[in-house]
Amino acid sequence: MIRLLLAAGLAMLISIFGTKLVIELLVRAKIGQPIRDDGPEGHATKAGTPTMGGIAIVVSAAFGYAVSDLYGGVVTRTGLSVMLAIIGGGIVGLMDDWIKVMRERSLGLNKRAKMIGLLSVAIGFALAMTQFTSVRTEISVLTWHTVGFDIGRWLWVAWAVLVISAMSNAVNLTDGLDGLAAGSAILSFAAYMVIAFWQFSNEDLLRSSGESYYSVPHALDLAIVSAAMVGALLGFLWWNAAPAQIFMGDTGSLAIGVGLGAMALATNTHFLLLIIGALFLVETISVVLQVGRFQLTGKRFFRMAPIHHHFELGGWPETRVIIRFWLLHGMCVAFGVGLFYWDWTRAAL
């Protein structure tokens, strides 16, 4: 527990002061976020707000995790693989953000380059997990361990790439309102912190029952990674809350998405991510529905996609959209953790 508090507390402190430093540096360099021309009219005032704040999130989380592991005297390949994947996602996002601000337009890396970058991170993580850790290659429906099957190492790699790529793009779509993605990600990482710590602290009980599906190697280190991300995001949200003084940019959103996907894979709760990451899923579905219907009929489902813009254009103030989406997401996250606990008790008792 001390290591969890150390990782979260240190990451939060570094993030609070580090984000402030990033803001000052970006303002001096006159580096700000270009706003898309087809976005809501109210967002025009956000043009020029410092971006690439995800740098502070990634650096703070990595530092908090490293210090916690050094304090405990243990660095595991599983936890390190997840943290390196988060850093990798952040680097891809940083390249995208840098091109945006240098060209002073809302388009960064082209789709092919961005996809290659994310695929490289996802494949690297998946290979590291299968080659250097004892990750389980079973897939279950939601969390029900009795309805799972082993897909083998190479299919697991392909599945891991799909999960991470989908999640990174989902968080990227959600990052459209001040604090929406950061606040929602805090709840999701907190859930994985609880899940991983529970797996660690109850490992003996699980083994004594003869059930091994939820037996996760190095679960404590995974909980520390999640705690570090919670702390880093809390510190960042101090400056990112509406009206935002800095945006996380793709640097932050891609790192968060990769991290959530990697945590789901490492804790063997793959499909539970659909509930713990419910808001990100809904935002993605809204875009798919909007684009699909428009291409087929020339009509739209929503006033604008992703769906948070639909409510903005419907007259909701930005803060109302953010807080209500946080609340709905929080309820889904709580349900997901409860579902995990219910199934875990079935497996262990």
The confidence score (pLDDT) of residue 202 equals 84
Q: In whole angstroms, give the CA distance from residue 217 to residue 223.
A: 12
Render pLDDT for 118-174 as a digit per residue (tens, 0 to 9).
999 999 999 999 999 888 888 866 545 555 678 889 999 999 999 999 999 999 999
pLDDT beyond 70 at 53: yes
Render pLDDT for 273-282 as a digit per residue (tens, 0 to 9).
999 999 999 9
Which one, of 176, 23, 30, 33, lies nearest residue 104 by Cα? 33
The confidence score (pLDDT) of residue 101 equals 78
pLDDT beyond 60 at 44: no
Q: What is the pTM of this model?
A: 0.93
Q: In whole angstroms, give the CA distance from residue 274 to residue 280.
A: 9
pLDDT beyond 70 at 191: yes
Choose the weakest-confidence range: 26-30, 59-63, 261-265, 287-291: 26-30
CB 333 within 8 A of CB 188: yes
Provide the mean pLDDT of the chain: 88
User: What confidence tier does 221 reach under pLDDT thresholds 50, 70, 90?
Assistant: very high
* Tally of CB atoms within 10 A around 263: 28
The confidence score (pLDDT) of residue 169 equals 94
Q: 224 vs 194, 206, 267, 271, CA distance in Å?
A: 10, 21, 13, 22
Using a 10 angstrom Cβ sphere, with 0-12 exposed, 13-18 middle and 19 or more buried, the burial of residue 37 is exposed
Average pLDDT over residues 235-254: 94
Percentage of the chain with pLDDT > 70? 88
Percentage of the chain with pLDDT > 90? 61
The confidence score (pLDDT) of residue 134 equals 84
* Tally of CB atoms within 10 A around 45: 10
pLDDT beyond 80 at 228: yes
Exposure of 300 in the CB half-sphere (CA atoms within 13 A): 9
3-state secondary structure of 120: helix
Render pLDDT for 73-131 as a digit per residue (tens, 0 to 9).
788 999 999 999 999 999 999 998 888 777 765 566 778 888 999 999 999 999 999 99
Q: How many helices (H) and strands (E) does the chain have?
A: 13, 2
Q: Give 295 or 60, the one with higher predicted confidence.
A: 60
Output helix, strand, coil percentages for the chain, rounded to the nearest 5. Answer: 70, 5, 25
